[in-house]
Amino acid sequence: MPFSSVLKSKLAKQDVIYGILNSVPSPVICEMFAYAGFDFAVLDTEHVLISDETLAHCIRAADCSGLPLLVRVADDNPLTIAKVLDAGAAGIVVSRVSSLAMAKNAIKASKYPPIGTRGITGGRNTGFGTLALQNYIDLANDQTFVCLMIEDAAGMASLPEIVALEHVDMILEGALDLSLSLGYGTQVNHPDVQAHIHNMAQICHQNNMPFCAIPRTPQQQASWHQKGTPAFLLGEDRGMIFKHFKQQLEALKNTK
């Protein structure tokens, strides 16, 4: 049965965790992430078209290969969150969290009473009835991973309140949308954008909240490591695959 206890325990032990954004939804690729050694993957359903059947197969493949798979959802809609968790996802990544209320809604949708308002169902998440419902509820409330993305100025303003909430496991930066929100277009490396990202990390550190960085240059990667950053997202698989294809093709064409 899929739970994210491994991910939570690594963060609790202050182990550095490494993840990747899955923008090419495929069970095979999810298995490859596991065998490549990633600690977690984030399957994107905000910007990527994916059927419920493919989502279920990706979650199952990740679970069977021992990879905690978090599903990125577009907002705090409780129906969407319940669906991906009922399918067996280890947790959620909620995009564009811009207020304390939205953060609270995401928690409520992810947890069963008395913590939240998530509705109970049988099926794969309960081992098809082999786990008593109350035992499952207790496990799910303890182990379901809740990650919130801060991607705009409003989210930055609300962050000090958000990181004080119980049941939030990690904050993930979203530099590109943050840059757009601040009026810098796609200049994710603009000094002001990077200052906001580092302020985000500092607020998290001051409140013992794990922060996940997305380094975009070797210099940023080294800097985040030196600061003791607890979590990294390598980037998205789609761009990496495309870049590798291009490089390999060019190398072949230029072979004399």
Separation CA 132–CA 130 (nearest Å): 7
CB burial of 99-117 (b: ≥16 within 10 Å; e: otherwise) equals ebebbbbbbbbbbbeebbe
Q: Give the chain's largest Cα–Cα span.
A: 68
User: What is the predicted pLDDT for the residue at 67?
Assistant: 96
Could you give the residue numbers annotated as active site?
Answer: 47
Residue 119, domain CATH? 3.20.20.60
User: How many structural domains comprise the chain?
Assistant: 1
pLDDT for the residue 129 = 86
Show the domain range for 48. Answer: 5-253
Residues 6+ away with beta carbon under 8 Å from 250: none
Q: What is the per-residue pLDDT across 164-199, written as a single tens digit (0 to 9) for each?
A: 999 999 999 999 999 999 999 999 999 999 999 999
What are the residue ranges in the chain where pLDDT is below 70? 1-4
Q: 114: cis peptide before it, omega within 30°?
A: yes
Q: Which of 53, 46, 54, 102 is nearest to 71 (CA)?
A: 46
Output the pLDDT for position 4: 60
